[in-house]
Amino acid sequence: MSQTLQTPRAAKPNEDADALIERFGSTRKSRFSRHVILCVIGLVMMYPLLWLVSSSLKPNGLIFEDLSLWPAEWSPSNYTEGWNALEYDFGIYFSNSIIIVVLSIVGNLFSCSLAAYGFARLNFTGRKLFFALMLGTMMLPGHVLLIPQYILFAKLGWLNTYYPLLVPNFLATNAFYIFLMVQFMRSLPQELDDAARIDGCGPFRTFWSIILPLCRPAFATTAIFTFISVWNEFFGPLLYLTDPELYTVPLALRQFIDSEGQSQWGQMFAMSVLSLAPIIGFFIAGQKYLVKGIATTGLK
Amino acid sequence: MTTTSTETAVMPGAVAPPAPQTKRRRGVRKDRAGYLFLLPWFIGMLFTIVPFFASLYLAFTDYNLLNAPKWIGLENFADMFSDPVLLKSLKVTFVYTFVSVPLSLAAALGVAMILNRGIRGLPWYRAVFYLPSLLGASVAVVLLWRYVFGFDGIVNAFLGWFGIDAISWTSDPDYALTTLIILHIWTFGSPMVIFLAGLRQIPVMYYEAAAVDGASKWRRFRSITLPLLSPIIFFNLIQSLIASFQTFTQGFVMNNGGGGPANSTLFYNLYLYQQGFGQFNMGYASAMAWTLLVIIAVFTAITFFTAKYWVNYDS
């Protein structure tokens, strides 16, 4: 296992340094035992996911009988039958989820980048106070706002629409992303703004032409985090969407338990795999940004 | 910054500098750009601040969404103390938090330490350990957990190899919460990545110097790693505590919206949801929400207060 893990090298400059330290600081035996420990932990952690994938390809009768990961008998029809197992086909649920995710990403990028630029680069009365307020909302548990927000959205006639899930994202209510972008923008040299100003740029032009293009990594991080959290989100849709036609993928998946009497585990697992696949895909594509994102906001 | 910032307001295309302005007008123009950028955030804050105080008000009322809220003083809070289900949900949430948070942080720190000692294939290991923390809150994984820990599931099959009798993990009140604690520990990857980033900032020479002085491995961990990492442990602890007190999806999906066997997985927020949106006791649910806010604030304050004894800020 450790052999295969060593061969594919990511193009990372400190990778060779790692290998050097590894050789320098420890005996061969302790190196080996560390790899063994890590592989065992990794295997235990991955096993449920592997079992999920393999069960999604087994006929119902075999899922709890044959515990090996390699299906003795293949049943790819779980996917086609699971796709149509509920009231609407999963194409509806997936497109609902995709609409909400895409608009949430747009909303967060738009509103949080504006707010972040204001906090990071402009000077105005009360900036420190507002910034402290923004950090405070980061710690505020969301459930305190839940009931009045629900009443408000109900009075606005927004129940069974996507507005309660989308509008807050266009109003920079995700302080975490503002904070992430503020941290990033503060690391850009102030001379850029000064130069732009001397060339006659106002704050909007500076924001649009100078700062935005440089913030792409922070935007990528925001987009990926938004994708994962909105794609997984269960509570908001559960609260605001009661019409099955509007359901997102997590709400749809949950319906499989309601119809559990039929024991269609294979179909449920097949749809579970499909619901996790986009997250895993985004994770593989954007791991660099995710790791950097939590490292920067986590540390400072 | 102080003298030149007045020019911020000069618009592109304005060739000649405008007529001299009074200092106050320049201040207003300077402020205006900032406020314009923050406009969406200001509106968003209304969606936060107004509900914040509205729920405080509702906590002292009897309100069911149909009739106007009726002021009943502290009755909701008094009811909470004599509501056995509420006390049970508080206990479930406390046990869950105080068992799973330390265990998952310990796992995160332990694995981060192994990964930090210059190991080949670090990006691969990190990916494998980090991925579950992105999936842990998804309905698909909680559903999966029901069956992994099901009576015929792989956990019981594994225990069977060691001659341990099958356990009804999900339907036995003594074990139902354990399965969710294990799910929480499974997601140790995100604090681990933060620990790993912190460990990499500790200069290697400290360890070399300590090794030269004959410090044992344990001693080096206790006297170098722990103090220098303490701000990050502190950060992770606060984050995990706040998140864990608010657990909802895991409990909801695990038992299809109910509290599980003998309410053994009835998380506080799940009960709040049942009260507020199942029975529309919105006044009572608001009182519950504020009580949890106070509980979270108290534990955060305790953590902050003790921080001066164990968190090292002068690195």
CB-based contact A272:B140 (threshold 8 Å): yes
Least confident of A26-35, A152-161, A244-253, B145-154: A26-35
Q: Where are the alpha helices (DSSP H) in A123-174?
A: 127-139, 143-155, 163-170
Lowest mean pLDDT among A55-59, A242-246, B280-284: A55-59
C-beta atoms surrounding A254 within 10 Å: 22
Q: Residue B239: is its pLDDT beyond 90?
A: no
Retrieve residue A222's tokens. 């925001």
Q: Which domain holds residue B93?
A: 78-310
Which of A52, A124, A149 has the most B C-beta neighbours within 10 Å, making it the best mutation to test the interface with B? A124
Is the CB of residue B287 less than 8 Å away from at least one CB of chain A?
A: no
**Which residues from chain B sit within 8 angstroms of residue A269, using beta carbons?**
144
> DSSP secondary-structure letter at A132?
H
Return the sign of the alpha-carbon dihedral for residues A20, A25, A28, A31.
negative
The angle that helices A265-299 and B122-135 make with each other, rounded to 10 degrees, is: 110
Q: Is the dihedral of CA A182, A184, A185, A189 positive or negative?
A: positive
Residues 79-98 of A with CB under 8 A from B: none
Residue B62, SS3?
A: strand
User: Which chain B residues are within 8 Å of A35, Cβ to Cβ?
Assistant: 119-120
Q: Which helix (H) or strand (E) holds A175?
A: helix A175-186
Nearest to B246 among A143, A291, A295 (CB): A143
A-B contacts (CB, under 8 Å): 303
pLDDT above 50 for A7: no
Task: Dump pLDDT digits (tens) for A36-47.
Answer: 999 999 999 999
What are the residues facing B61 on neighbouring strands? Answer: B71
Distance (Å, rounded) from C-alpha B58 to C-alpha B77? 12
> How much is the average pLDDT of A52-69?
83
**B192 — contact with chain A (CB < 8 Å)?**
no
Chain B (71-110) residues lying within 8 Å, Cβ to Cβ, of chain A: none
- Most confident residue range from A84-88, A115-119, A287-291: A115-119
pLDDT band at B229 (very low <50, low <70, confident <90, very high): very high
Distance from CA of B114 to the nearest CA of A (A): 7
Handedness of CA A203, A206, A207, A209 (dihedral sign): positive
Task: Give the minimum alpha-carbon distance from A58 to chain B in angstroms, rounded to a whole number.
Answer: 15
Average pLDDT of chain B to the nearest whole number: 87
Is B171's Cβ below 8 Å from some Cβ in A? no
Whichever domain contains B131, its CATH number is 1.10.3720.10
Q: Does A189 touch chain B (CB under 8 A)?
A: no
CA A199 to chain centroid, in Å, comes to 39
Q: What is the per-residue pLDDT for B166?
A: 85
Give, in degrees to the nearest 5, the angle at Cα B189 between B184 and B190.
95
Of the candidates B128, B120, B112, which has an alpha carbon nearest to the alpha carbon of residue A10?
B120
Q: List pLDDT tens digits, range A187-205.
A: 889 899 889 989 988 889 9
- B17 has a chain A CB within 8 A of its CB: no
CB contacts under 8 A, B 127-146 vs A, are 127-132, 134-135, 137-141, 143-145
Query: Is pLDDT of B211 > 90?
Result: no
Of A112-116, A183-187, B134-138, B169-173, give the lowest mean pLDDT range.
B169-173
pLDDT at B299: 93
Cβ separation B125–A5 shorter than 8 A: yes
C-alpha B210, offset from chain centre: 36
- Of B5, B40, B236, which is closest to A115 when you measure between CB atoms? B40
Q: CA quadruple B215, B216, B220, B223: dihedral positive or negative?
A: negative
Mean pLDDT score across all residues of chain A: 85
Interface contact B277, partner A, CB < 8 A = yes
Nearest-Cα distance to chain A for B185, in Å, is: 10
Residues of B in contact with A208 (CB under 8 A): none
Measured CA to CA, the distance from residue A43 to residue A154 in angstroms comes to 47
Cα distances (Å, whole numbers) of residue A135 to A122, A176, A178, B175, B236: 18, 8, 9, 38, 16
The answer to whether residue B10 scores a pLDDT higher than 60 is no
Checking if the pLDDT of B8 tops 70, the result is no
- Tell me what pLDDT residue A142 has: 87
Of residues A49 and A27, more confidently modeled: A49
Assess whether pLDDT exceeds 70 at residue B287. Answer: yes
The residues, any chain, with a CB within 8 Å of residue B180's CB and separated by 6 or more, are B96, B100, B145, B247, B250, B251, B254, B265
Long-range interactions of B45-50: CB distance < 8 A, separation 24+:
B45/A133, B45/A137, B47/A145, B47/A149, B47/A152, B47/A168, B47/A171, B47/A173, B48/A137, B48/A140, B48/A145, B48/A173, B50/A148, B50/A152
Residue for token pair 């959205």: A153
For residue A263, what pLDDT is reported?
A: 67
**Which of B2, B10, B30, B138 is the best mutation test for A, with the most CBs of A within 10 A?**
B138
A11-15, A21-25, B202-206: which is most confident: B202-206
A214 in B contact zone (CB under 8 Å): no
Residue B60 has pLDDT above 60, yes or no: yes
Nearest to A81 by CA among A278, A286, A270: A270
Task: Examine residue B3 and state whether it is found in any structural domain, yes or no.
Answer: no
> What's the confidence (pLDDT) of residue A139?
84
pLDDT at B118 over 80: no
Q: Are A267 and A256 in contact (CB under 8 A)?
A: yes
Give the Cα separation of B180 and B177 in Å (integer): 5
Q: What is the pLDDT of residue B309?
A: 87
Q: Give start and end residues of each alpha helix (H) in chain B.
A: 23-37, 39-58, 75-81, 84-116, 122-135, 139-148, 154-161, 176-186, 189-199, 204-212, 217-220, 226-245, 249-254, 268-273, 282-310
Number of domains in chain B: 1
**Could you tell me the pLDDT band of residue A66, with boundaries at 50, 70 and 90?**
confident
Tokens 């038992």 locate to B255
The residue among A52, A146, A186, A296 with the most chain B CBs within 10 A of its CB, best to mutate, is A146
First to last CA, chain B: 30
SS3 of A233-274: the string is: CCHHHHHHCCCHHHCCHHHHHHHHHHCHHHCCHHHHHHHHHH
Nearest to A290 by CA among B105, B131, B141, B122: B131
pLDDT confidence of residue B122: 86
Residue B18 contacts by C-beta under 8 Å, 6 or more apart in sequence? B10
Dist. CA A109–CA B180, nearest whole Å = 34
Distance separating alpha carbons of residues B11 and A200, to the nearest angstrom: 7
The Cα B48–Cα A171 span in angstroms is 11
The residue among A229, A89, A220 whose CA lies nearest residue A173 is: A229
CATH pick for A90-299 out of 3.30.470.30, 1.10.3720.10, 1.10.10.410, 3.40.50.1820: 1.10.3720.10
Q: Do the chains contact at B37 and A115, CB–CB below 8 Å?
A: yes
- Assess contact for B135 and A279: CB atoms under 8 A: yes
Chain B partners within 8 Å of A247 (Cβ): none
Chain A partners within 8 Å of B139 (Cβ): 232, 234, 250-251, 253-254, 275
The CA distance from B174 to the nearest CA of chain A, in Å, is 23
pLDDT recorded at residue B150: 85
Give yes or no for residue B13 having a pLDDT over 60: no
Please give the average per-residue pLDDT across B302-307, as a whole number: 90
| pLDDT band (50, 70, 90) for residue B39 | very high
- Residue A276: which of B30, B138, B245 has the nearest Cβ? B138
Among all chains, which residue has been given the structure tokens 């893990």? A5
Query: Measured between alpha carbons, how far is residue B268 from residues A93, A191, B258, B264 in Å?
Result: 29, 51, 12, 11
Number of H helices, E strands in chain A: 17, 0
pLDDT at B2: 37
Model pLDDT, residue B70: 92
